[in-house]
Structure 1
Amino acid sequence: MEKAKINASQLFVLVVLYEMGSAILVGMGAGAGQDAWISILLGMTAGVLLFFVYYRLFLYYPDLPLTSYIQKITGKWIGRLIAILYIVYFIYDASRVLRDFGELLTTTIYTSTPLFVINTLMILTIIYAIHKGFEVLARVGEIYFAIIYILAIGGFSLILFSGLIHFENILPILENGWKPVIKTFLRETFTFPFGEMIVFTMVLPFLNEPKKVKMACIGGILLSGINIAITAVINIAALGTDLFVRSNFPLLTTIGKIQLANFIERLDVLFMLYLVIGGFFKIAIYYYVAVAGAADIFNFKNQRKLGFPIGVLVLFSSVTIATSYAEHIKEGLNVVTIYLHWPFQIIIPCILLILAFFRNRKKKSSPS
């Protein structure tokens, strides 16, 4: 593993940028209609509880990443197999986010540019960034965190002053009862994006103040969850439930409706700028943990040697995992959540925690 060290504020920023990444891009919670924001808040709450599973594992093995302590808990061979499956999972998820990023740009601005070209430019930038080290990525995150919030405040203000907000679109609350909200929570908002905190089990040992892990990560989950819920409320209030559910990129549609003083309009560039920043950090973190995990499993002293081949794998996976964006989304909702997210984010970590408890019941966990 790279000998990187980051502080608590940098970890907090990375969590927020990662969680918001592509979650604001798509219409999260659309299955719950105008109650999407409730489903998102439920997902956030469950995500915090799930993080305590990851945090407790970190307390047992504060100096080891996920791929190492899996072997400590389950044994070398079983542990190595599970760790390899996690690396494949991280690569696959990086590919999905890269596909989201490319699809938006090719369907809105770069309509004549092949998806492969857009994705290649993004992955090359990420390979270069990760080659410089995780500490550099964390420091860049602090800069872009401020830029994103300036864009968000500016965009919200323009939407408000444009008279697009109609809160009656959110009413009646729970018109169809709790069933669609709970269903959407279990199938979508629990695992995406809040269950995706599993990636940080690979980087928590980098924190130079281990006692601040809990505060930084939970703070990041809460802030990003509230931001995503507010975004959903704004989209539903501006577009109405039907258009919110049907739109592939609801926030882009909302921003496209801004028209102020007969000259402030066509502000899609604000959304695109956020997209590039958010997409970059989410893909970069997924990609980094895949590289670091592979280096850990296969005993590479210099993990940079794995950067380019894994980057190429992510690139080609992003353009081949689905023949169209509709198929990509359908696969994400009906296949990935059930057969990948639930096992890797929830079931396996809970089993690991139970096993770790029995293995370490006579030892003191640290730090406390």
Structure 2
Amino acid sequence: MNAKEQISSAQMAILMYQTVLGTAILLLPSATTALAGRDMWLTPIIGSVCGFVMVWVAYRLHQYYPDQSIFGYMESILGKYISKIVGFVFLLFNLHILGATVRDYSEFIVGNFFKKTPLIVVAASMVLVCAFAVRAGIEVIARCVQLFIPIVLLLLLLTIFFIIPDMKLTNLQPFLENGLVPPIKGSLVVQGWFCQFVLISYLYPTLKDPHKALKWAHISVAAVTFTMVIMNLAILLLMGTLAGRIIYPVLFASRYIMLADFFEHVEAMIMMIWVLGTFSKLSLFYYTFAVGAADWLKLTSYRSIVLPLGVLITVMSIWVSNNLQELAHFISTSGTFYILTGFVVFPILLWAIASVRRRLSQP
């Protein structure tokens, strides 16, 4: 790791905020409405528990093994040979998640805006741009996200503001019609995004003020929760339970906007939110994947493998699914348990084993 590559805990919080929300804003309202109905706005509040838990797990592992990423202390916890096998499986898991994210982005862009552009062109162009950022380092990625976040938030606020006249408070009723079970089911999908806060494990070695990291991580989780609740409420008040039948309800909502017969067709705002959010998310995931692969291969620098890994990510984005409907079904069903296994169960097991070994080693 280059010693000059350092970011602050506040930058880490902003980076994680944009990473988690990068794809959640467009996809979550549909998935949560399908499962929780009118109470879908409660799902981020319940699901945020997963985010706080993963922040705590990452913090405890950092305390046990300072200045090491997850692949660094995996060997200390599991041993040399087992960690190699488990590490390889974890790398494949990360590659699959990256491929699915790129495919989701590409399907949205091609399906709604550039219908005659080959899917592979859209996917490869985004991966290439992210590769430049990853090769430049985590500091450049963090600064890019800092630059983009005001734009994304402004566009989101404008979208919500312009659809206020079409909102109906009656769409909130009846409250908890079927009890807490539907919101809890819907929160499982939301946890698939909140569990991504475990990526903080890769950022701890780059922090110049790690003593502030836990506070800023909690702020980031709270900010993500608040944004998800506001966005879900806006979609619910506009569409009601119809949102559960639309893959991209936020894009659909933007088509309601029409002011003074000249301000309309503002889908470009949603596309910009999607592109900037996906760039932020992919860049961090790509960075952690490259750093993890370099640690697994015992390389001195991850930069030499960034472009080859980009080719793998692009190919995986084509292999990961046959079409958008299949990918959307996977994300909202078995994909939730799949990502929770890799980003929740596995890190918690590492922490549990590390805690037991430390206690047994004490006299």
Letter in 1 for 2:220: G
Match of 1:19 in 2: 20
1:85 Cα deviation from its structure 2 partner: 1.9
Q: Which has the higher helix share?
A: 2
Q: Structure 1: how far apart are the matches of 2:309 and 2:200?
A: 19
- Distance in 1, matches of 2:334 and 2:168, equals 35
Q: Name the counterpart of 2:154.
A: 150
Q: Deviations over 1:247-292 (max 9, x none)?
A: 1101001111111122111111111111100000111111111100
The 3-state SS of whatever aligns with 2:115 is coil
Distance 1:363 1:149, change over 3 A: farther
Q: 1:295 is matched by which residue type in structure 2?
A: A
- Match in the other structure for 2:317: 318
Aligned counterpart for 1:181 among listed residues 180, 183, 196: 183
Deviations 1:279-318 (A, max 9, x none): 0011111111110001011011231111011111111111
For the residue of structure 2 that corresponds to 1:302, the secondary structure is: coil
Output one character per residue of 1:202-241: Cα deviation in whole Å (capped at 9) or x when no partner: 1221111111111121111110121012101101111121
Q: Does 1:204 align with 2:204?
A: yes
Amino acid at match of 1:29: T
Asked if 1:103 corresponds to 2:103, the answer is no
Q: Is the 8 A contact 1:28 1:232 kept in 2?
A: no
Counterpart residue number, 1:6: 7
Deviation, 1:2, is 4.1
8 Å CA contact retained: 1:29, 1:40: no
Amino acid paired to 1:8:
S
Equivalent residue of 1:175, what SS? coil
Residue 72 (structure 1) aligned to one of 57, 66, 76: 76
Structure 1 equivalent of residue 144 of structure 2: 140
Determine the C-alpha separation between the residues in 2 that align with 1:65 and 1:362.
Answer: 23
1:351 maps to 349
AA aligned to 1:296 is D
1:6 match: secondary structure? coil
From 19, 30, 42, give the equivalent of 1:38. Answer: 42
In structure 1, the residue matched to 2:134 is 130
User: What is the root-mean-square deviation of aligned Cα atoms in Å?
Assistant: 1.6
What is the rounded CA distance, in whole Å, between the counterparts of 1:24 and 1:201 in structure 2? 24
Q: Is the 8 A contact 1:130 1:137 kept in 2?
A: yes
Tell me by how many angstroms 1:104 deviates.
0.7
Q: Structure 1 residues 231, 363: closer, same or farther in 2, change over 3 A?
A: farther
After TM superposition, give the deviation of residue 343 of structure 1 in Å.
2.0
User: Matched residues, percent identical?
Assistant: 27
Q: What is the aligned partner in structure 1 of residue 233 from structure 2?
A: 233
Aligned counterpart, 1:171: 173
Say whether the 8 Å CA contact 1:92–1:317 is kept in structure 2. yes
* Residue 308 of structure 2 is aligned to residue 309 of structure 1: yes
CA distance in 2, matches of 1:154, 1:172: 28
User: Do the aligned residues in 1 keep the contact of 2:131 with 2:310 (CA within 8 Å)?
Assistant: yes
Deviation at 1:363, TM superposition (A): 8.8
Alignment check: 8 A CA contact 2:31 2:332 kept:
no
Tell me the residue number matched to 1:336.
335
Contiguous gaps of at least 5 residues in structure 1: none
The AA in structure 1 aligned to 2:8 is N
Query: AA paired with 1:294?
Result: A
Q: Aligned residue for 2:275?
A: 276
Which amino acid counterpart does residue 169 of structure 1 have in structure 2? N
The 2-side partners of 1:334 and 1:2 are apart by: 40
Going from structure 1 to structure 2, the CA distance change for 1:331 and 1:2 (only over 3 Å counts) comes to farther
| Structure 2: runs of 5 or more not aligned | none
CA distance in 1: counterparts of 2:185 and 2:240, whole angstroms: 21
1:236-255 alignment runs, 5 A limit: 236-242=236-242, 244-255=243-254
Name the residue aligned to 2:326: 327
Taking structure 2 as the reference length, the TM-score comes to 0.95
When the two structures are aligned, how many residues end up with a matched partner? 358
Identify if the C-alpha distance between structure 1 residues 326 and 53 changes in structure 2 by more than 3 Å, giving closer, same or farther. same
Show the counterpart of 1:295.
Answer: 294
Indicate the larger mover: 25-34 or 204-213.
Answer: 25-34
Contact 1:14 1:138 in 2 (8 A): yes
Whole-angstrom distance in 2 between the partners of 1:138 and 1:362: 39
Distance 2:91 2:66 in 1: 20
8 Å CA contact 1:28, 1:40 repeated in 2 = no
Partner AA of 1:239 in structure 2:
M
Amino acid at match of 2:214: K
Contact preservation (8 Å) 2:254, 2:267: yes
Q: 1:9, CA displacement in angstroms? A: 1.6
SS at match of 2:67: coil
For residue 91 of structure 1, what is the amino acid of its counterpart? L
**Are 1:29 and 2:28 counterparts?**
no
- Supply the distance in 1 between the matched residues of 2:57 and 2:49 (Cα, whole angstroms): 14
1:16 is displaced (CA, Å) by: 0.7
Distance 2:73 2:334 in 1: 28
